[in-house]
Amino acid sequence: MPRDDRPVRSSARADRSGPRPGVRADRYTRSGPRADPPRSQPTPRGEQPPPGRSAPHPEPQPRRSPTEPTSRGRSKPEPSARDRSAGAARRPVESAEPVEGAQRLQKVLAAAGVGSRRACEDLIFRRRVTVDGRVAQLGDKVDPATAVIHVDGERLVVDTRLVYLAMNKPRGVVSTMADEKGRTALADFLDGRVEQRVYHVGRLDADSEGLLLLTNDGTLAHRLMHPSYGVAKTYLCEVAGPIPRNLGKRLAAGVELEDGPVQVDAFRVVDTLGRTAQVELTLHEGRKHIVRRLLDEVGHPVSRLVRTTIGPIRLGDLRAGRTRRLTNAEVAALFKAVGD
């Protein structure tokens, strides 16, 4: 074969003096790439690394179990009984027996106007709420229709179906919701503003005026009317004068009527105008026409009678023929007056 006399070209890569692209200069020598130094071995505990060599990073240790003893033989301390009790008190506790139609207690309290849900949760946590006689806990569920709830010892009505109204009955209106004879009755002043059917607590005759309670809470109405609960009622009367000084003592001692004796709890003369006088008396009985018959028996017939209070509820400046809803505090005061 013919000899190829062409000069052999030296490889450009072989003639180059310097590092290859992408290779650090300190890792390259004329004789070739510099060998990597050996990896440093972990230094035993208690020994110092040799000069010029940094200590290796410690290897990650596996995570110990909370109950696994440490290298020194000590185990992680268990939480104290106080910490466990405090943590348990803060954790919601579900009711053991769910009730049909039950709702979260804090939601029921908030709907009743006690405060925000967060504020109601704080009341429950501070043990200021009881349900059916027991201290409530966070997470309890209650049925608003049947639960008996107290906040700071005061009864709280959470059933939104129950209505409590105060009314200033005008003179000439009969104390009934509807009259068969077509006379003006109490329902004529509601004007359909109350969806529930309510009943009057006690009576005022047609010639009398003043405070009358309306509600659909039959249990409370019965207690307010029953004489054994002794709910006091105050009346402002315009009577024939003059009033003798010993009239108050005579009424407090008791006056005999045809259906039995009666005595007042308090009596005072408000004003005297010529031959008439205004007197205020308080008694806890509710017999028919009891005030008129009592004052007529002692010689001071009544020309005008206005009931101003029933227990803790006051007539105030409520205009004749108008009604207003009782506040939660007033409803609680009524329950307290009848021993609930």
* Catalytic center residues: 205
AA identity, residue 153: G
Residue 23 in tokens: 């290779």
Tell me the CA distances in angstroms from 121 to 97, 114, 187, 241, 307, one per residue in order: 20, 11, 40, 59, 41
Q: Which long-range contacts (CB under 8 A, 24 or more apart) does 227-230 make?
A: 227/284, 227/285, 227/286, 229/337, 229/338, 229/339, 230/284
AA identity, residue 92: P
Q: Are strands 129-131 and 149-151 parallel, antiparallel or unpaired?
A: antiparallel
Residue 77 in tokens: 């301390």
Task: Give yes or no for a contact between 186 and 211, defined as CB atoms under 8 angstroms apart.
Answer: no
Task: Give yes or no for a contact between 244 and 340, defined as CB atoms under 8 angstroms apart.
Answer: no
Residue the block writes with tokens 């607590």:
201
